Structures are given as structure tokens and as C-alpha cells.
Structure 1
Amino acid sequence: MEESDNRWAERLRSGEPAALAALIDAYGANVYSLIGRVLQGCGNKEDIEECASDVFVSVWHRIREYDASRGSLKTWLLIIAKYRALDCRRSIIREARIAPIDWRTEPVASEDTERSVLRKAEMDEVWGMVDRLPTLDRTIFYRAYFYYESQETIARDLGLTRKAVENRLRRIRRLLKARLYSEREEGLSWS
């Protein structure tokens, strides 16, 4: 079913169940595959299926947040899938290591609000830098670190050697690190 993202989103926003079914048919395999890669080593088939279901329920409830000017419906869907899968992964790992609660001690936050805000700002900086990379490098970066695809798969799909992908990723990491460090140094000089 080929239709524009705007039309599809419009159908979902109007509460059309057939639109959700078509979305699942069109992108279910992509969502399932991404979740499987994120949960690899800690989740089972039922965890993947439950997480995929949660993704589509979330899309159904959050479709009003979709903004076509920021990217395709598929990309938005896969972003939701990635973060839902990461939450699921953390939950599975946490459940595997449940420790008895000591009610005599006060709970301690894992990180303070300031550190959380700073980390978010740093991530926004990094993603801004990634978005300014040349198209091929940006594609390789997203496929390796966002979609968790292997270097072999990326190389095959883009007509490159695995070594070329590996070298580009190494160069991108160095570039991002240098730019991030440089921007921090500039920020410190204004203090």
C-alpha cells in the first residue's frame, strides 16, 4: 500500500483501524527486526513481540505528535521502536537482577537533575553534528548506531567494503569527539 506519510497520518489521526493494520503490514518487519537487534542477548521472542505491540499502540496514541517536516513516518515509527526497545532492554536486565529492598535506607536518585539536563544537551549537540555530516557518513552512522546494523550489512547495502565502513565510522567518531571537545573549550573560554 503506497500512500504519502501525510495521508497515512491523517487516516491514523481520524482513528481508522485499517490504517493501523496497514502500517503494521508495511513496517512491522522493520520494527520487529530493530527490536530484535536491541534485545539481542537479553530478550526472547515473546519480549520482542510484546515490545512491537507496545510500539504500535504507542503510535496509535501518539500520532498527533508526528510532524512530517521533521522526517518520514517510517523514521518516526522506528525512533519510537528504538526507544521502546531500549526501555524494554533495561527492564529485562533490571528484572534479572532484582535485589531485596532495604526499607531502612532512603532511595538515592541515580543521577541528579542537572546532570540529566547536561547529558540531554550534549546528546542534542552530538545529533546536530551528525545531521551536518555528508550524506554517506550520516547514513553509515545512523545504520550502525541507531539501527544496530552490522558493518557487513551496511557495506553490502551501500556497495562498500566492510573495512571502508569501519574506517568511516572510526573517522566519524574522531570528528565528533574533536568537534564536541572544541565546542566545550569555546564554551569554557566565555565563562
Structure 2
Amino acid sequence: MPEVPMTRNDHDSLDWPGRFRTKDKQALADAIDFYGPDVHRLVQRILAGCGSAEDAEECVSDVFLAAWNNIGRYDPSRASFRTWIFLLAKYKALDLRRKLQPGLGRTLNEATLNMQSGTNTEREFLQREATGELLRYIGQLREPDRSLFLRRYYLYESLDELAAAFGFSKKAVESRLYRCRTMLKQAIHLTGEDGKGELGSW
């Protein structure tokens, strides 16, 4: 009987964190094989216009080494292992971009969220993200909004790419993302007022 290839769900259901904690070297190799191409695409998006192919490759390697060495910090209640890997990739790539172009002049907020909002939402999001709170809020979003938000602001996919992937018009994607930002901003403000924030029935 021919071997049936594993799907994304099959791979994502594997106990990556547990295997990383036990220092299963095969798990590290398997994770690189499976997540590596997507991580590399994300790194390339963030490094666009600066650095070399070798810089991108080294950054990808640093991402998986960081995951391997810091698996004790991973909290499954805040994010899936896949999302955590992409978060590590985002920060590693942003750090590298700043080193490669120290005079670039873009703030971390702009590089991280790339939003067109005229408010301080980006700054608040970034501050919450540092403590892991933003991931909890994002996890409360309903699909497809959660995936749209993550793919736009964490994987740097364009509005056109998202529209094609989800079968929406570009305007509909923009509208959904605007609503997500508004909801998350409200949740953050509620946290500041009473110590907890929920998205409720949004």
C-alpha cells in the first residue's frame, strides 16, 4: 500500500513541545523540514530589500535554535506551537533587519503591524504582545478573522493574497481587519480598566 503523505493537521498534532523538551534531535530535524519553508518565506518578507540569501538562511537557523533552547518558555495556553515558531521568526528577522539597516528609521511598531491607523493601537498591541496577552485576545477571535489577522500582521501576507486565499474582496478583507483591530483595542482598554479583557460575543 502506498504511503499516505502527512497533512498539516497531522504534523501540527504531533507533540512538538514535548519532543523538544526531551531534546529529541529528530524532532528538531522534522520541525525544520516541516515549518522551515514557511518560516523562510516570513523571514524573506521582513528582510525584503536588505541582507543576502545567506543572512535569511542564518536567521531561519537561529529561529529553530531559539525554539530548541527556549522551549521551557513556550505556553500552549497562549499560542499553538506553530504560532510560537512564527513569533520567534518575526522577532529574529526584525532584529536582523535593524542590524542590517540601523538607519532605516522605521519603528518596531511599524515593522511589526504595518497598520494604516492614526491611533496608538499599534503601540498598545506591541506592549501587550510582549507579555503574551495579545495572543490570548487573538485566540478569542472567530474564524476566519483570527487567521486573517495572523496572516496579515504576523506572516506579512498582502491584502491581495488574503483576498484570494479566503475568497473575499480586498475591501472585505480590509473591513474585517479593521474590525479586528477595533475589537482588540477595546479588549486592551478593558484590561487597563478592570484587570481583564474579553472579546465577548464579537
The two structures share one fold, judged by TM-score above 0.5: yes
Query: Please, which moves more after superposition, 155-164 or 26-35?
Result: 155-164
The answer to whether residue 100 in structure 2 is matched with residue 92 in structure 1 is: yes
What RMSD, in angstroms, separates the aligned Cα atoms of the two structures? 3.3
Tell me: CA distance 1:23–1:181, structure 2 relative to 1, closer, same or farther (3 Å): closer
Kindly provide the CA deviation profile for residues 103-148 of structure 1, in whole angstroms up to 9, marking residues without a partner as x: xxxxxxxxxxxxx99x725976766654444332232222111211
Could you say what secondary structure the match of 1:69 adopts? coil
Tell me: CA distance 1:46–1:10, structure 2 relative to 1, closer, same or farther (3 Å): same
Shift of 1:3: 4.9
Tell me: CA distance 1:19–1:159, structure 2 relative to 1, closer, same or farther (3 Å): same
Shift of 1:35: 0.6
Contact 1:5 1:72 in 2 (8 A): no
| Structure 1 equivalent of residue 150 of structure 2 | 142
CA distance in 2, matches of 1:176, 1:69: 18
Identity across aligned pairs (percent)? Answer: 41
Contact 2:46 2:90 in 1 (8 A): yes
CA distance in 1, matches of 2:51, 2:128: 31
CA distance in 1, matches of 2:36, 2:135: 26
Report which of the two has the higher share of helix.
Answer: 1
Question: 1:40 aligned to 45, 48, 65, which one?
Answer: 48
Tell me: CA distance 1:131–1:23, structure 2 relative to 1, closer, same or farther (3 Å): closer
The answer to whether residue 30 in structure 2 is matched with residue 22 in structure 1 is: yes
Contact 1:6 1:68 in 2 (8 A): no
| Structure 2 equivalent of residue 74 of structure 1 | 82
Q: Which runs of 5+ in 2 are unaligned?
A: 1-5, 106-122, 195-202
1:24-173 superposed matches below 5 A: 24-94=32-102, 120-121=127-128, 129-173=137-181
Query: Please, which moves more after superposition, 63-72 or 13-22?
Result: 63-72
| Structure 2 equivalent of residue 112 of structure 1 | none
Contact 2:160 2:170 in 1 (8 A): yes
Shift of 1:164: 1.2
Tell me: CA distance 1:123–1:95, structure 2 relative to 1, closer, same or farther (3 Å): closer
CA distance in 1, matches of 2:159, 2:88: 23
Structure number, greater radius of gyration:
1
